[in-house]
Amino acid sequence: MSDETREQRPADPGEEDERPAAGPPRPLFVTGLVGAVWCAGIGLTLLLTITLVGWIAAPRAAVGHGLPGVFRTAVNFWLVAHHAGFSLPGGRVGLLPLGLLVLPGTLLYRCGGWMIRACGPSRRPRRGVARVALALAVPYAVLGALLALAAESPRIRPSAWQALTACFLVALAAGGLGAARALVAARGHRVRSGLGALLRLLPGRARSLVVGVAGALAVLLGTGALLVGASLAMHLPEAVREYDILAPGVIGGVLLLLVELAFLPNAIIWGMAYAVGAGFSVGAGTSVSASGVFLDMVPAFPPLAALPEPGPAPLVSLPALAAPFLAGAVGGTLTVRAMPTRAYEVAPLWGFLTGALTGVAAAVLAAASGGPLGGGRMATVGPSAWQVGLLAALEVGIAAAIAAWLANWRALRRPAEPKRKPPRPHRRPPEPRPPLPPVPERGPAEPESSGKPTPHRPDPVEFEDADTVLPSRRRAARDDRTENRGGAIYVLRDEDQP
């Protein structure tokens, strides 16, 4: 008997099942530890491969001495991918590419979904997602700190506390989004991203604020990307000239292109800071903002060719200053549409809160996009976090408050839609009645009846002595009887009866 036939054969009631029973689910902290080790291992393997290619193509002293040096360099790249800085003999390096967050973020996002499926859905979805994110973030942060201590060398000293904090935050955010998406998908809902799944799990008011902040940030970042792209297109010959000066070669050119793509999110955030009005700096004593451009010596890096010329700000870039107000209008409208309020005076407060939270998010992005690049003049690179946050909160908040009030006013003035009547139940068509039996034909001798009853005619002989009387108003005696014959009422007394 084949295995397929044995599987399809129904088991007897008294026969024991030889298949191993499914054991209890794995503990959550064990699942988190396994997932953290796998994510760290896969990320290190990919970066170690790229480092080996660079070690073969470039001068070996630039990457490291021997294979231990290559491993330490790969670990440093892995820490930089989590936005953990390091120190050099000449100063500290904190200007790190944000594009490298895609690698650990994708791995941790997938791991969060796997943990939800391995441990089973929780009865309380929000608490279950938080537990999964913490179970993944804690061991991952410990691994990051241990790797930072292992990669320390006399020339490069990674920051262990930055590695601990950065790895924890990245794992908490990415793992939580992945767990939320897997949990919502397990309930039968179709979601396209972790943010959309998270919105389904949040309460109504928190969901409206997240939607408004996301819309406002999308407008700001889109404006920054438009500024960077337009400026780079206008200064493309200068970028090509700097690339020729570097002369990286084929493999070096590929690695340089990867580095430029990794720094692209930083450039977009710098464009957002320019649109907000705070601007950014490329070294001590420099400033690039709408009030003017003050530059000094700039490092030889092709994307920096997009910087405008020193002097007044280009007139073409000044319309970008309206982006914060447009972002506020979008954010306030989305906040109120997600959850209107019945009080007119409360809607502007929710709109301004949306702008304030947008300012906090913009400040975090500005702080992550900049940092020192060694010591000396390059110790200050990037936008000022507090300036970007304050200006964004005021500009976006005021516009969002006005837009939220208008959107809420229109929503309350809109007439309520009439309730639709429920559809009528489907009626069965009436069943056809059976045909009536045929009426037999009557003979010609039988007289035709008209169908009306013939009136009763009294017999004059039988009721010869009966007197016709009118009905009395008094109730007749019990012994008397009355009869209606032919429209006349007759009273029959006892003596009339035979």
- DSSP class per residue in 303-347: GGGGSPPSBSPPGGGGGGGGHHHHHHHHHHHHHHHHS--S-TTTH
Residue 430 lies in a domain: no
- pTM of the entire structure? 0.76
Cβ–Cβ contacts within 10 Å for residue 411, how many?
A: 14
Give 387 or 125, the one with higher predicted confidence: 387
**Whether the predicted pLDDT of 4 surpasses 50:** no
Residue 304 lies in a domain: yes
Rounded distance between C-alpha atoms, residue 72 and residue 86, angstroms: 12
Does 209 lie in the same domain as 126?
A: no
With pLDDT > 90 as the criterion, what percentage of the chain qualifies?
A: 35
The domain boundary, picked from 413, 448, 482, lies at 413
Structure letter (DSSP) for residue 155: S
Q: What is the pLDDT of residue 271?
A: 94
Q: For strands 381-382 and 86-88, give the pairing.
A: unpaired
Does 388 lie in the same domain as 323?
A: yes
Q: What is the pLDDT of residue 15?
A: 42
Residue 444 lies in a domain: no
User: Angle at Cα 72 formed by Cα 32 and Cα 80, nearest 5°?
Assistant: 60
Query: For the chain, what is the domain count?
Result: 3
Q: What is the pLDDT of residue 35?
A: 93
Torsion of CA 317, 319, 320, 323, to 10 degrees: 180
Kindly calculate the radius of gyration of the chain based on its CA atoms and give it in whole angstroms: 44
Does 236 lie in the same domain as 271?
A: yes
Does 316 lie in the same domain as 186?
A: no
Question: Which two structure tokens, joined as six digits, stand for 293?
Answer: 């451009």
Does 483 lie in the same domain as 355?
A: no
Domain that holds residue 495: 465-498
Give the CB-side neighbour count of residue 117, counting CA atoms within 13 A.
Answer: 11
- The rounded Cα 82 to chain-centroid distance in angstroms is 23
Rounded distance between C-alpha atoms, residue 396 and residue 324, angstroms: 5
* pLDDT bracket for residue 497 (50, 70, 90): very low
* pLDDT bracket for residue 202 (50, 70, 90): confident
User: Angle at Cα 362 formed by Cα 282 and Cα 86, nearest 5°?
Assistant: 55
Hey, what amino acid is at 453? Answer: P
3-state secondary structure of 201: helix
Does 361 lie in the same domain as 257?
A: yes
Cβ burial of 50 (10 Å; 0-12, 13-18, 19+) is: middle
Cα→Cα distances 403→275, 352, 369, 389, Å: 20, 10, 30, 20
The domain boundary, picked from 139, 171, 201, lies at 201
> Do 378 and 369 form a contact (C-beta atoms < 8 A)?
no
Q: What are phi and psi of 289, to 5 degrees?
A: -150, 180
Rounded distance between C-alpha atoms, residue 31 and residue 111, angstroms: 10
Does 74 lie in the same domain as 120?
A: yes
When pLDDT is averaged across residues 222-229 and rounded to a whole number, the result is 94
Rounded distance between C-alpha atoms, residue 256 and residue 330, angstroms: 37
pLDDT in tens, 257-284: 888 999 999 999 999 999 999 999 988 8
Residue 448 lies in a domain: no
Does 322 lie in the same domain as 357?
A: yes
Q: What is the pLDDT of residue 169?
A: 95
**Helix axes of 102-119 and 125-150: crossing angle, nearest 10 degrees:** 130
The domain boundary, picked from 201, 231, 260, lies at 201
Question: Which two structure tokens, joined as six digits, stand for 101?
Answer: 């967050």
Question: Which two structure tokens, joined as six digits, stand for 366?
Answer: 């500005």
Which residue blocks in 346-488 are alpha helix, DSSP H?
347-369, 385-413
- Which residue is it, tokens 């084929």? 250
Beta bridge partners of 86: 93, 158
Q: What is the pLDDT of residue 12?
A: 42
Q: Is 261 left (phi over 0), alpha (psi -120 to 50) or beta?
A: alpha
**Whether the predicted pLDDT of 366 surpasses 60:** yes
> Do 96 and 371 form a contact (C-beta atoms < 8 A)?
yes
Residue 384 lies in a domain: yes
Question: Which two structure tokens, joined as six digits, stand for 59?
Answer: 């001068």
When pLDDT is averaged across residues 363-390 and rounded to a whole number, the result is 89
3-state secondary structure of 92: strand
Rounded distance between C-alpha atoms, residue 140 and residue 341, angstroms: 42
Does 351 lie in the same domain as 269?
A: yes
pLDDT in tens, 340-356: 887 778 889 999 999 99
Does 160 lie in the same domain as 241?
A: no
3-state secondary structure of 209: helix
pLDDT in tens, 420-475: 655 665 566 666 666 666 656 555 555 555 555 555 555 554 444 545 555 555 55
Beta bridge partners of 91: 88
Does 163 lie in the same domain as 90?
A: yes
Residue 159 lies in a domain: yes
Does 154 lie in the same domain as 239?
A: no
Q: What is the pLDDT of residue 3?
A: 43
Q: What is the pLDDT of residue 60?
A: 54
* Strand positions, DSSP E, 194-311: 281-282, 287-289, 292-294
Rounded distance between C-alpha atoms, residue 303 and residue 258, angstroms: 12
**Whether the predicted pLDDT of 299 surpasses 70:** yes
- Which residue is it, tokens 């720094």? 263
Residue 247 lies in a domain: yes
Q: What are phi and psi of 435, to 5 degrees?
A: -65, 145
Which residue blocks in 422-496 are alpha helix, DSSP H?
none
Residue 421 lies in a domain: no
Nearest one of 357, 378, 401, 399 to 297, comparing CA atoms: 378
